[in-house]
Structure 1
């Protein structure tokens, strides 16, 4: 592992300000946060920023329904989202909003640069229009009968029954979800980002296939979308919407607004700019084309198109650096099935806390399922109970609870310095580089498997030496101190390895072991007799099966 300091800007996808955070969202924020915390432990300069994605028709309509202004609605949702992220220990350096002066300024500036580069084109297009609400309708705000199978009550872009995709104008007996009226067709001028321009195509082929180490599944999907030289597969991107619309007005087009997907990713930079202004950092130094800093985006695989095509092209042709990499993950299922409100498995983040769950149980369980691929992961609720209780309680915390009492009561918490050369401790320390490489590569499941294998060896050492038996013999006091010292030093190292995943528990461990905050380099700085341990306090409770039943009931 390189010791040179890196400078990293890291983001997670921006949650839409139109609903609650649920456990499916949390997979991504936990994945990002573990990586960020690991990088911080390695001494790198890391800035992790996020924001609520706040613009668009759904926000405008929900605010109207709740008799609020859009700004009042998004302020309320921001507080809920921030509460949930704080509860799950997601360590954003700045959590902002896309409805900010910084984002408006950046979005307008980027648009004008793209326009001046000849990459914006105005075209007249025909769209569905609600004559009662006097507004153009997004695809998801039109329903009707599927033109392929005839299923009723289907959205304007795809049929949930037969899977067909189509345009809203193909629907039979269409109606507006907003008013119930039959939509009419109306022509309007829209603004397009010319992704089909040869300059964009050439850049994206190079960026997705050569320059960026995308995941193999992502690279293959990009190859399919971008095509070979000479093929023109990329469609132009409609970046405008008509009034009424909650968003930013396009500078040279009164009554036209930026489509939410234009200003949302720019919101990463807006949040970072806001953070730079408060911390005295040089924003331009981080986002200029020749910067030596790194930029990473963690996202769900469903928004890969926006982040691996539109976003890099937007940055490139507006004169900014492009992402170092984009990391996509799969979807979360619960007990092997899609999350469902009717089964209580569309579990909100807040309900987890209200039902008395420790959020670190979920952080750990998700980490045991996460790797560097885009495959889906499953929250099996029975396995969740078994895994958390077996690994965290039975293997990890059990190590401290079996030895700490003897050391504190018999030796005033003072460890034996001579015991720190034990071969078991050397074996645990030797795993540092391997575990670091696994965290770096987002192979959390493998990292935790390695840690738990080491925990098994420590428990084997305790079982073999039986400190509870040694304690009965006054003649063996020195041996008791030695065994407990080895055990608790092993516990310290395992805690260091688990710190990115369960930071709150490890903060309690640092307090109990009289340690400053552990960094990765501390692996070779053992416990010392100069810093006596404090009295052991219980670190974590077991998950009980009735809690699962209560959680599902709370989400029905």
Structure 2
């Protein structure tokens, strides 16, 4: 048992969509680990929160016409409530957009600047001429320069998984409008990650946790580290110290959230956050495999450079598949935690058991409704539930309660052995192996009660039957204490059937061999219900329908894109273009790109907003003949209505003008 408290954190869920089974791959094992340590008598602080910043939130908020904060609060509440339904209970679940994280992030960045680890540099960044804006990472899509696969602006998410700096992605396209992006220069700030190469080479071999985390990280170290651009051109996020036009990169302020949330926990409880972040108390991060780089390389370097404690262990889970298919929300291969599971009335304990027992924590987990059914029915119902119900029911109905005798030494030794093996595996993050030891104890109990057959023995040897059942009840008590970390709702139910009235979570694993304080038993209940084939067929049909809908949508999108490549003469004829003369032009307050322009179209005058302010003075435009698209739907830009579009070409917005004098309003053929 550790004498110092332990801090356990989980990777922060991003507030841009609902919870799915891929999220739970990290959070359920972390909760199991925390519960198990507490049953071993250790003090554990369990911290998490929502990740609120970055481009996707901005895109979603713009699409919905609400503020980024509003959308973050909505999904923050969603994750908080969903985790609690799944019995994943944090001591603090914060938000990275709350004041504590803004303050701590700016403090750490300032420390890094003062320590000489951050510098300013002019870089080429993707710019969309059509949208008239620099494009943050997630607004960009292109080709990975390392493996050639389709990639986001900040990461090769479809191929090699490498982090990409601004400007590295090839053939960049704006994800907002679909037009080709271009490179333009802008000032940004960089973190000297390369300066920590030697530190990380010493840090990683000593890092506890799972091998996949250390091995992946060492591979990147051996390839060589590059400095990280840690600013982005966004309004939403933590402002970079001294700059109103830049925010801190989300992968700086998100992990700092662990520290800020620990501070919030300490303020609420009177605890000491500095014992973890400035002391020797161990910090364990539970993360997904896709963010190993950020947690094993970037995060320890940030902490080291700013004078804080580094993690003790990093536990990285394997990825998730759905029916042996790559997990994909866009293709329909996804199980939503609420819509597809909890809202159907399925037990959170069933899913917790499946996630923990299916495979090793570092290996790929495949979710299949058929396999889920088999594990629930064969293991929870037939093995664990069957033994517990037979034991408690017999003791209650035939013996009137718990026999007032002790358990046999042979039984106690078996319980001790399985408990020790389960604990050892749990501490090594081998959760599947830990549960196998628990289930082996249940199987031992089943074999024991079946072999001794107390329902026959009681007819001729009541004392012998009482001894058998007393031994079985001791196994039930041990199973309740062990399985509380796996299936807490059902474990509490078992505990209460044994006559206890307090919380099982308050008890120590050392009590697995202790006797009972009384002889009373509560009414025996069937713990687990079998999942029938009809229900599984129903759940599978829901997924199949989602996959089919995704395919149809993809086909429609593909067809639309193909149709966009070529248009007919009739379609082109629908675009109405006329010559016009500029009568007035003035800048729009608050924008350095837009001009409000009045044009003469012969039979009418129109107001048009055009993004050419950087290339023309308003005065020089007056009297210029231009070409205008006149049948566009009116739109508002910066609150000013635009009733058409002035055509221009190239990077410097060269206006299209008629070669000879023509009257305003002449149709362009």
CA contact (8 A) 2:354 2:375 kept: yes
The equivalences for 1:286-305 within 5 A come to 286-288=276-278, 291-305=279-293
Matched, 1:262 2:262: no
Offset at 1:121?
A: 0.6
User: 5+ unaligned residues in a row in structure 1: which ranges?
Assistant: none
Counterpart mapping for 1:393-472 below 5 A: 393-418=381-406, 420-471=407-458
Alignment match, 2:563: none
Alpha carbons of structure 1 residues 135 and 553: separation in structure 2 relative to 1, 3 Å: farther
Deviation at 1:159, TM superposition (A): 8.0
1:274 and 2:270 are equivalent in the alignment: no
1:225 match: 220
Rounded to whole Å, the distance in 1 between the matches of 2:323 and 2:239 is 45
Supply the distance in 2 between the matched residues of 1:41 and 1:213 (Cα, whole angstroms).
21
Residue 359 (1) aligns with residue 355 (2) = no
SS of equivalent residue, structure 2 residue 193: coil
Contact 2:143/2:151, CA 8 A, preserved across alignment? yes
Please name the residue that 2:227 is paired with.
Answer: 236
CA distance in 1, matches of 2:415, 2:147: 60
Most deviating of 424-433 and 41-50: 424-433
- Cα–Cα, structure 1 residues 88 and 162, in superposed 2: closer, same or farther, change >3 Å? closer
Deviation of 1:286 after TM superposition, in Å, equals 2.5
Residues 280 and 309 of structure 2 are in contact (CA less than 8 Å); yes or no, is this contact kept in structure 1?
A: no
1:201 lines up with 2:197 in the alignment = yes
> Does structure 1 conserve the Cα–Cα contact (< 8 Å) formed by 2:480 and 2:492?
no
Whether the 8 Å contact between 2:287 and 2:316 is mirrored in structure 1 is: yes
Q: Residue 500 of structure 1 aligns with which residue?
A: 485
**2:28 matched to 1:30?**
yes
Q: What is the aligned partner in structure 2 of residue 247 from structure 1?
A: 237
Q: How many residues align?
A: 537
Task: Quote the offset at 1:108 in angstroms.
Answer: 0.3
Q: Provide closer, same or farther for how the CA distance between residues 285 and 444 of structure 1 changes in structure 2, counting only shifts above 3 A.
A: closer
**Does the residue aligned with 1:403 lie in a helix, a strand or coil?**
helix
Shift of 1:370: 4.3
1:350 aligned counterpart, secondary structure: coil
TM-score normalised by the chain length of structure 2: 0.75
Q: Output one character per residue of 1:139-163: Cα deviation in whole Å (capped at 9) or x when no partner.
A: 4423468999999x87557888887
Query: In the aligned structure 2, how far is the partner of 1:208 from the partner of 1:162?
Result: 25
Q: Deviations over 1:390-439 (max 9, x none)?
A: 11111111112113223223333232324x12523432223222211111
- Contact 1:140/1:155 (CA < 8 Å) preserved in 2? yes
Cα drift, residue 342 of structure 1: 7.4
Provide the TM-score with structure 1 as the length reference: 0.90
Report 1:83-102 matches (<5 A). 83-102=81-100
2:194 match: secondary structure: coil
* Bigger Cα Rg: 2
Q: Which of these residues, 363, 373, 378, is aligned with residue 385 of structure 1?
A: 373
Alignment of 1:99-138 (within 5 A): 99-138=97-136
Over 3 Å counting, the alpha-carbon distance change for 1:343 and 1:98 in structure 2 is: closer
* Mapped contact 2:214–2:296 kept (Cα < 8 A): no
- Are the aligned partners of 1:54 and 1:74 in contact in 2 as well (CA < 8 Å)? yes
RMSD between aligned residues: 2.6
8 A contact 1:415–1:532 mirrored in 2? no
Select the structure with the greater relative contact order (CA < 8 A; seq sep ≥ 6).
1
Structure 1 residues 185-194 or 328-337, which shifts more?
328-337
Provide the residue aligned with 2:207 in structure 1. Answer: 212
Q: Pick one of 509, 526, 531 that aligns with 1:538.
A: 526
Greater displacement, 92-101 / 490-499: 490-499
| Residue 498 (structure 1) shift | 1.4
Structure 2 counterpart of 1:190: 188
The 3 A distance-change label for structure 1 pair 533 and 55 is same
What is residue 48 of structure 2 aligned with on the other side? 50
Alignment partners' CA distance in 2, 1:85 and 1:162:
31
Closer/same/farther in 2, CA of residues 532 and 101 from structure 1, 3 Å limit: same
Of 311, 318, 327, which residue of structure 1 is paired with 2:315?
327
Quick check: which one's helix share is greater?
1
Deviation string, structure 1 residues 118-149 (Cα, Å, up to 9, x no partner): 00010001111123444321344234689999
Is the 1:157–1:168 contact (alpha carbons within 8 Å) kept by the matching residues of 2? no
Of 516, 530, 543, the residue aligned with 1:527 is: 516
Paired with 2:107 and 2:64, the residues of 1 have a C-alpha distance of: 34
* Structure-1 separation of matches of 2:210 and 2:218: 12
Structure 1 residues 429 and 111, CA gap change in structure 2 (3 angstroms): same
Task: Output the CA distance in 2 between the equivalents of 1:315 and 1:159.
Answer: 26
Which residues of 2 match residues 51-66 of structure 1 at below 5 A? 51-66=49-64
**8 A Cα contact 2:232 2:246, kept in partner:** yes
